[in-house]
């Protein structure tokens, strides 16, 4: 079976040259399919893996806009509509200078499986632009979003493709994108976007969902060892949407979170992160992580090397910033320092070497992103349900739905891992559970 999988991977790599992140995401899934392909060789009959790795549609477009000084800029926009076997394409938009087709494809590919794991009727897609929102004024952000949507609007809709936020795209950007969509289409089609503001069709808990869901998943992992979050030390990277709400929920469940970071460095706060101060610095002032250290007091350390975040002794490590931020050396440091759970809040934050080391380490439970951070998209699907029924649910009810979904994702992953190998192999369980769900639907829908 290994040689069949190697040949499939090689073929995907050759069709998609110079897209290392996409290759990495494909290899991570295909490498765990051996046990299911051995039990169900019929999956090889339909050439289903080639089809799964070829996006249904890839849209690349020009985004011209003018800055406050009147200078024209040209960015490149993307939307990869990867797989609609389970429902409309669903996945966020990322605005970051590093965005390119390979990154959008890696994110879109991951999204197919993540969405399948939630058990909700959503397909997979992703998009974005190589636009850097940092340092841009509000009018510049609006100008960019309006230009981006002037092309994207023709491809999206409640029943076709439903974007949301990701790095660099929060409620402010979704507002400008939605406003332009509404203006061009002359429709208040709330279900065409998720992550909307609360008074124009958004859902309570969507802002918190990915971070909270990450903690619920880590709590379930700890539960399999008979442990809880109470009194545990937690290391978190990032200081954006996922990280901030992971910190909030971890603290609410009694853990002490001792680190946070951004792209300019990290902080170690032995007394536990002061979340109000961190939110003030990062969310309101849009400042740098060093400002947190400067204002918090002398016991807090600032380190310019971002990976130092993984060098402190910790029980639980949650990479919540970006792809490939935790490498083999950091994984070794975590294992040597006695980490028990590593759960990926960000998408593909562990390098292949780090993931392999953590997966193989005894006494460490490694949760892959497509399961751990699926609470964000699951709550987006709850937002779509509320929009479709013209209803809005209260915080407690919506959070209870999120919690139920995370518990069931955890159970589904472990049950599948048990069936095909080791119950503690969350990578195996997540990949096989999602793969079988998606390809069964693809086969049922014929050669399309």
Rounded Cα gap, residues 149 and 161, in angstroms: 13
Nearest distance from C-beta of residue 306 to ligand NDP, angstroms: 5
- Compute the residue count for the chain: 448
As given in the structure block, the two tokens for residue 108 are 């879109």
Which residues in 53-88 belong to E strands, given as ranges?
57-66, 72-83
Among 124, 191, 240, 368, binds ligand NDP (CB under 6 A): 240
- Residues in contact with ligand NDP, counted by CB under 6 A, come to a total of 25
Distance of CA 72 to the CA centre of its chain: 32
Using CB positions, name the residue nearest to ligand NDP.
240
Among 128, 163, 201, 376, binds ligand NDP (CB under 6 A): 376
Which of 126, 232, 340, 437 does the annotation list as catalytic?
Answer: 126
Closer Cβ to ligand NDP, 52 or 242, answer by number = 242
As given in the structure block, the two tokens for residue 378 are 């699951």
Nearest distance from C-beta of residue 421 to ligand NDP, angstroms: 26
Nearest distance from C-beta of residue 321 to ligand NDP, angstroms: 3
Among 373, 387, 424, 431, binds ligand NDP (CB under 6 A): 373
The residue behind tokens 């890839």 is: 58
Under the binding rule (CB under 6 A), the answer on residue 130 touching ligand NDP is: no
Under the binding rule (CB under 6 A), the answer on residue 367 touching ligand NDP is: no
Who's near 120: CB < 8 A, 6+ residues apart?
A: 87, 378, 381, 405
Nearest distance from C-beta of residue 95 to ligand NDP, angstroms: 9
Buried b (16+ CB within 10 A) or exposed e, 30-57: bbbbbbbbeeeeebeeeebbebbbebbe
Closer Cβ to ligand NDP, 43 or 216, answer by number = 216
Number of C-alpha atoms within 13 angstroms, CB side, residue 442? 26
Rounded Cα gap, residues 178 and 172, in angstroms: 10
Q: Which stretch binds ligand NDP (CB under 6 A): 22-30, 174-182, 344-352, 425-433?
A: 344-352
Under the binding rule (CB under 6 A), the answer on residue 261 touching ligand NDP is: yes
Closer Cβ to ligand NDP, 140 or 166, answer by number = 166
Rounded Cα gap, residues 64 and 44, in angstroms: 44
Of 203, 219, 126, nearest in space to 406 by CA: 219
Under the binding rule (CB under 6 A), the answer on residue 399 touching ligand NDP is: no
Under the binding rule (CB under 6 A), the answer on residue 145 touching ligand NDP is: no
Closer Cβ to ligand NDP, 189 or 262, answer by number = 262
Among 263, 280, 356, 436, binds ligand NDP (CB under 6 A): 263
Closer Cβ to ligand NDP, 9 or 196, answer by number = 196
Q: Which stretch binds ligand NDP (CB under 6 A): 61-69, 116-124, 241-249, 270-278?
A: 241-249
105 is an active site residue:
no
Who's near 229: CB < 8 A, 6+ residues apart?
A: 215, 218, 219, 222, 250, 253, 254, 255, 316
Closer Cβ to ligand NDP, 235 or 347, answer by number = 347
In the range 188-217, which residues lie near ligand NDP by CB under 6 A?
210
Binding track, positions 82-111, relative to ligand NDP; x by CB under 6 A: ------------------------------
- Angle, helix 20-30 to helix 426-444, in steps of 10 degrees: 90
Q: Which stretch binds ligand NDP (CB under 6 A): 47-55, 75-83, 227-235, 236-244?
A: 236-244
Is the distance from CB of 333 to CB of 310 less than 8 angstroms?
A: yes
Nearest distance from C-beta of residue 94 to ligand NDP, angstroms: 7
Under the binding rule (CB under 6 A), the answer on residue 306 touching ligand NDP is: yes
**DSSP letter for each residue of 113-182:** HHHHHTTSS--EEEEEES---TT--HHHHHHHHHHHHHHHGGG-BTTTEEEE-BTTB-HHHHHHHHHHHH
State the catalytic residues.
126
Q: Site residues (CB under 6 A) for ligand NDP? A: 165-168, 210, 238-243, 261-264, 306, 320-322, 325, 345-347, 373, 376
């Amino acid at each position: 079976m290994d040689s069949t999988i190697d040949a499939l991977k090689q073929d995907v790599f050759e069709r998609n040259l110079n897209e290392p992140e996409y290759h990495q995401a494909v290899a991570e899934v295909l490498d765990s399919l051996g046990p299911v392909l051995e039990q169900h060789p019929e999956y090889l009959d339909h050439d289903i893996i080639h089809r799964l790795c070829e996006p249904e549609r890839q849209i690349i477009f020009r985004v011209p806009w003018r800055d406050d000084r009147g200078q024209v800029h040209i960015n490149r926009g993307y939307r990869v509509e990867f797989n609609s076997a389970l429902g409309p394409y669903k996945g966020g938009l990322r605005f970051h200078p590093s965005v390119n087709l390979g990154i959008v494809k890696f994110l879109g590919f991951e999204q197919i499986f993540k969405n399948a794991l939630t058990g909700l009727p959503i397909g997979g897609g992703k998009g974005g632009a190589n636009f850097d929102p940092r340092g841009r004024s509000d009018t510049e952000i609006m100008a960019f979003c309006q230009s981006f949507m002037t092309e994207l609007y023709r491809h999206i809709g409640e029943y076709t493709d439903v974007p949301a936020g990701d790095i660099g795209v929060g409620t402010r950007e979704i507002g400008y994108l939605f406003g332009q969509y509404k203006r061009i289409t002359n429709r208040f089609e709330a279900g065409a976007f998720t992550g909307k503001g609360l008074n124009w069709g958004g859902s309570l808990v969507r802002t918190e969902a990915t971070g909270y869901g990450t903690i619920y998943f880590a709590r379930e992992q700890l539960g399999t060892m008979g442990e809880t979050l109470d009194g545990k030390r937690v290391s978190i990277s990032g200081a954006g949407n996922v990280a901030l709400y992971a910190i909030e929920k971890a603290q609410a469940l009694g853990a002490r979170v001792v680190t946070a970071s951004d792209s300019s460095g990290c902080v170690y706060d032995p007394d536990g992160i002061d979340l109000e101060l961190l939110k003030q610095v990062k969310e309101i002032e849009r400042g740098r992580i060093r400002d947190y250290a400067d204002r918090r007091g002398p016991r807090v350390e600032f380190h310019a090397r971002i990976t130092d975040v993984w060098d402190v002794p910790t029980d639980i490590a949650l990479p919540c910033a970006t792809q490939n931020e935790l490498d083999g050396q950091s994984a070794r440091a975590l294992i040597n320092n006695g980490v028990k759970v590593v759960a990926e809040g960000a998408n593909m934050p562990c390098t292949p070497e780090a993931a392999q080391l953590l997966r193989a380490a005894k006494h460490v439970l490694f949760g892959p992103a497509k399961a751990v951070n699926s609470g964000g998209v699951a709550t987006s699907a709850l937002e779509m349900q509320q929009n479709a029924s013209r209803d809005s649910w209260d915080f407690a009810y919506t959070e209870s739905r999120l919690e139920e979904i995370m518990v069931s994702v955890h159970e589904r992953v472990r049950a599948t891992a048990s069936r095909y190998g080791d119950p503690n192999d969350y990578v195996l369980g997540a990949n096989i559970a999602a793969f079988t769900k998606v390809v069964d639907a693809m086969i049922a829908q014929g050669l399309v």
